Amino acid sequence: MEEETSFSKVGIRRLVLIVDDEHVNRRILGRIIEKEYDVIYAENGQEAYEQIKKRENTLSMILLDLIMPVMDGYQLMALLREDPKYSKIPVIVLTAERTAEAKSLQIGASDFIPKPYDMPEVILARVKRLIELAEDKTIISAIETDALTGLYTKEFFCQHAIIHDNYYPDMPMDAVVLNVNRFHLINELYGRLFGDKVISTIADQLKSIVSETDGIAGRAGSDSFFIYIRHNSDYSVLLDRIVNGLINGTGNSSINLRMGVYQNVDKNTDPEHRFDRAQFACNTIRSGYTNGFVLYDDTMYKRELYSNKLIDDMHVGVENRQFKVYYQPKFDIIGDKPVLRSAEALIRWDHPEYGMVPPGSFVPLFEENGLVQKLDRFVWEEAAAQAKRWKEKFGVTIPVSVNVSRLDIYDPELEKRLLSLVERNGIDPTDYVLEITESAYTDNSEQIIDTVNKLRAHGFRIEMDDFGAGYSSLNMVAALPIDALKLDTQLIRKIDESEKELRMVQLIIDIAGFMKISVIAEGVENEKQYQLLKEAGCSIIQGFYFSKPVLPEEFERLIEEKIRKTPERGTL
């Protein structure tokens, strides 16, 4: 089994340097050695040193004469011993002098070959043994091969990938990860023995593939394989070959494989990294019921790394106040002129590395893993405290709305938490508006109706956010206890271009009006959209046409302006 994965099987011939000033000696020795090794020559120590520097990674052995012009063997050995890059290359001294043998061993030679070269087989055997010993020493691994398949273990595989690169630095290579879909189920359904059969059959296919393609193969996990092979542009052929081999070998055609390929690897990255990329590509294959492969895409990977970094940095970001709450004004447009009505609190992240990160980049991520709750609570606190500050400063209450994520709905402490918040900040719950995304309502209607009813009973106002972005249902609007509908930007965007969109918005506003629910339009960007919405009977709008989300200090200018125009005190 070990033979299957040995170097010679994958076509790597070791390189031996013969250093002798005498051409006849070089040629005779070269004849012996070249039966099994590639051979290069040098006529003296200096020439040899130049050769060694060029081939430090691929030179497996130096056969060294001692007495030579320019630089003799002793001087060269001393140079090599000094440098850790070269000191690991085994040296066999070629000598006719009995007295030189002991000395050469003392200064670091691994062995010696007496001149003249009377026993060619012995010379070859010594060279071979010493190369093997030196390599075993270099590749430190307790277990070189996987017992079931005879393939390299993951660690050993990576070492061999490095050695492969040293020998073939210019060969374009692909890193391939092969996984068996739902392998645990195969073990469960057909038994462990069958599972082993599947793995060893795949391994046999891989062995025959790598023996033809200058590559190496390893078993990276219970159902995972690594293959490092010469660049190949069509992986469907390779995958078909493995799949067919698996069907023939096991008689079972229901086992599916997925393959991730990182083509033309960047050899400046370490092998683990290359296979991370191939694994990443492999993991993007979601279906477990077909055979398939995906080629690694750098952009996709960078996006993933970026997302992971954002997730990792979130807690520190909150602690270091990298998150800032911006406020976007909502304007009442029922009268002649738009009047400031309230503010929506929106999160922004001033990331130390990436600068301003748009919420679209991190909110959906944090929603996936629950981190969004921490962020929501941070915004709730900030917004309530801000409302309190404005009330103290201007003597008016500016209603603020905050986002409540789907996960918050399931928080049994939600009611208590929000009540405590408004109490602590001296705000009336009616001035603290909760925006719940439309999709949360479709998730678990009963729970949400229950929660929303309780919150409304305390006086909180509820707005259904992002209406029209997902699978909206007018029936849902009728069934849910809400105070306002917020039309999603996507619905508003085209009303000034498309009659159809405008009619739809009109219809929603009419129905909402019938049900005494006010309608807020988000993402209003121009005069035309504003006019159309006003004519359609929309009561409140929010969008860049009036103001982008701004920091509290800037928002205060709007409050001051409003107070100037309508100096009565109280709620805006």
Indicate the SS3 state at residue 90: coil
Distance between CA atoms of residues 151 and 515, nearest Å: 70
Smallest gap from residue 74 Cβ to other proteins (A): 13
Q: Please, what is the minimum distance in Å from the beta carbon of residue 12 to other proteins?
A: 24
CA atoms within 13 A on the CB side of 105: 7
CB of 29 to other proteins, least distance (A): 9
| 49, 67, 405, 536 from 16: Cα distances, Å | 13, 19, 68, 87
Q: Which residues pair with 331 in a beta bridge?
A: 340, 541
Residue 124 or 300 with smaller CB distance to other proteins: 124
Q: In this complex, which beta carbon is closest to other proteins, that of residue 20 or of residue 463?
A: 20
Strand partners, 224: 179, 221
Cis bond upstream, residue 116 (ω within 30): yes
Q: Shortest Cβ distance from residue 30 to other proteins (Å)?
A: 11
Least distance from other proteins to the Cβ atom of residue 122, Å: 12
CA distance 536 to 509: 7
CA 454 to chain centre: 42
Residues with Cβ < 8 Å from 450, sequence gap 6 or more?
none
Contact 42, 87 (CB under 8 A): no
Closest to other proteins by CB, 28 vs 508, is: 28
User: What SS3 class is residue 203?
Assistant: helix
Distance in Å, CB of 112 to other proteins, minimum: 14
Q: How far apart are CA 440 and CA 463, in angstroms?
A: 12
Compare residues 44 and 256 and give the one whose CB is closer to other proteins: 44
Q: How far apart are CA 3 and CA 252, in angstroms?
A: 29
* Complex with other proteins: residue 118 or 336, whichever CB lies closer: 118
Helices 372-394 and 414-424, axial angle in degrees (round to 10): 20
| Cα 150 from Cα 166, distance rounded (Å) | 24
CA dist 346 and 383 (Å) reads 9
Nearer to other proteins, 71 or 209 (CB): 71
Residue for token pair 């992002």: 466
CB 26 within 8 A of CB 41: yes
Given the complex with other proteins, which of 33 and 89 has the nearer CB atom?
33
C-alpha span between 197 and 499 (Å, rounded): 64
Residue closer to other proteins (CB basis): 4 or 20: 20
Nearest in space to 151 (alpha carbons), one of 214, 224, 213: 224
Which positions touch other proteins (CB under 8 A)?
20-25, 27-28, 31-32, 65, 67, 69, 96, 115-118, 120
* Nearest-approach distance from CB 94 to other proteins, in angstroms: 9
Nearer to other proteins, 27 or 454 (CB): 27
At residue 374, what is the residue type?
K
- For residues 436 and 404, is the Cβ–Cβ distance under 8 A? yes
Cα of 35 vs its chain's centroid, Å? 48
Nearer to other proteins, 30 or 260 (CB): 30
Work out how close the CB of 64 gets to other proteins at its nearest, in angstroms, rounded to a whole number: 13
399 within 8 A of 428, measured Cβ to Cβ: no
- Distance, CA of 80 to CA of 83 (rounded, Å): 6
Minimum distance, C-beta of residue 27 to other proteins, in the bound complex (Å): 6
Nearer to other proteins, 18 or 282 (CB): 18
Cα–Cα distance measured from residue 469 to residue 490, given in angstroms and rounded to the nearest whole number? 7
- The residues, any chain, with a CB within 8 Å of residue 6's CB and separated by 6 or more, are none
Name the 3-class secondary structure at 225.
Answer: strand
Identify the H or E element spanning 17: strand 15-19
Nearer to other proteins, 97 or 135 (CB): 97
Between 63 and 209, whose beta carbon lies closer to other proteins?
63
